[in-house]
Copies of this chain bind each other. A is one copy, B any other.
Amino acid sequence: MKKRLFTPGPTPIPESVLLKMAEPIIHHRNPEFREVAARVNKNLQYLFQTEQPVLTLTSSGTGGVESTFVSLFSPGDTIISCNGGKFGERWVNMPRIFGITVVELSVPWGSVPTEEQLLPLLKKYPETKAVYLTHSETSTGAATDIKTLAQVIRRNSNALVCVDGITAIGAHEFRFDEWGIDVCVTGSQKGLMIPPGLAFVALSQRAIAALEHSAIPKFYFDLRKALKSYKEDDTPWTPAISLIIGVDDALQKIREEGIENIWKRHERLAASVRAGVQAAGLKLFSNFPSYAVTPVWLPENIQWKKFNSLLKGKYGITVAGGQGAFKEKIFRISHLGYYDELDMVTVISALELTLNECGFSLTLGAGVAAVLHSLQSK
């Protein structure tokens, strides 16, 4: 059976990237690898739209975010962390472990923090060293308006603007320098279209200055060490070489397509999926749609297990289930990374067939037609 992945990480990997990573390995201290690393570093700046350093760590995205907490702050420092889902929740709990005082801005799952919620907190806690925002919350498919909130933070405080861009980078418009972002983290198995195992951390000059004052004990995730090596296109510890070879190829593809075209493609694909699922009679989970992943309510009389085993077992399609309180209540279709228009037709077709076989009443083909109409109108 042909298998197709529609999950928000790992995402499908372009065939050329897979083959590149399958070449005999090279040594990370060889000039040949330094050239690759230099090109990766340059193209990561393009991806993040920045002239600031973007560091490469060998870890999951969670490790990348941890590196920012342990490298930028000291025990007792106050930060504001916005929590609207599984990952936002992690960025509240994790810094507390390291002794950071966390002011939590909690919003319901599927919703996003607003200027009206953030502003009073900035006034109430003027000592705030940073605000953590999740651009696209993977668990809820809700996208925060980073550009606006970054302005609010910059105008009303000295706090660093820190963004979890793990499922947003490469899907949503993001301009690190222009928007005044200080920290942004992404992972390799998302918009970057390679396997998991690498995290990328962009740091502004304000963030780099903060590295010097941090008193949280750290070693592997010490961004001062990573930054020092970065300046020589190197890493302090042996990096995941094959993944860096892969991301080099993926970044070249990103440059070829053009980052603005990529953002538009994701916006277009996401819109077509929303049109498709609604035309098939389903309801969207979030009113703040991410361009990376679209969560959808499972109709009440359909069991997740039956739905998922049909979709996966009969049609070879893997979507993501719900998380936390929404386990078995929603499912999530990803369109992040290496996807095109016809892939959206594929996933909505399989969804229609599966729903139909689950006894859900729908007009077969209505969802797909809506996908096509949506695509044609953009």
Which residues on A are within 8 Å of B, measured CB to CB? 3, 5, 7, 9-10, 12-13, 18-19, 21-28, 30, 58-63, 66, 94, 97-99, 187, 189, 195-197, 216-221, 237-243, 318
Contact = CB atoms under 8 A, between A and B. Distances in A.
B22 A5 contact: no
Contacts of A23: 18
Given A216-B217, A218-B97, A22 B22 contact: yes
Nearest to A69: B219
Given A59-B63, A63-B58, A237-B60, A25 B9 contact: no
B66 A240 contact: no
A197 B58 contact: yes
Given A13-B24, A61-B238, A66 B97 contact: no
A7 B26 CA distance: 10
Copies of this protein in the assembly total: 2
A242 to B, nearest CB: 4
B24 A21 contact: no
Nearest to A195: B242
Most buried by B among A60, A62, A66, A219: A219
Contacts of A60: 58, 220, 237-239
Contact of A196 (B22, B97, B240): B240
Most buried by B among A187, A221, A237, A238: A238
A336 to B, nearest CB: 13
A18 B27 contact: no
23 contacts: A5-B26, A10-B27, A13-B25, A18-B24, A19-B22, A21-B21, A22-B22, A25-B189, A58-B58, A58-B196, A59-B220, A59-B237, A60-B239, A61-B237, A62-B238, A66-B220, A97-B219, A195-B241, A196-B240, A197-B239, A197-B242, A220-B221, A240-B243
Across the A-B interface, give the 3 residue pairs with the lowest CB-CB distance, nearest first. A197-B240, A22-B22, A195-B242
Given A5-B26, A58-B197, 4 more contacts: A13-B24, A18-B23, A28-B196, A195-B243
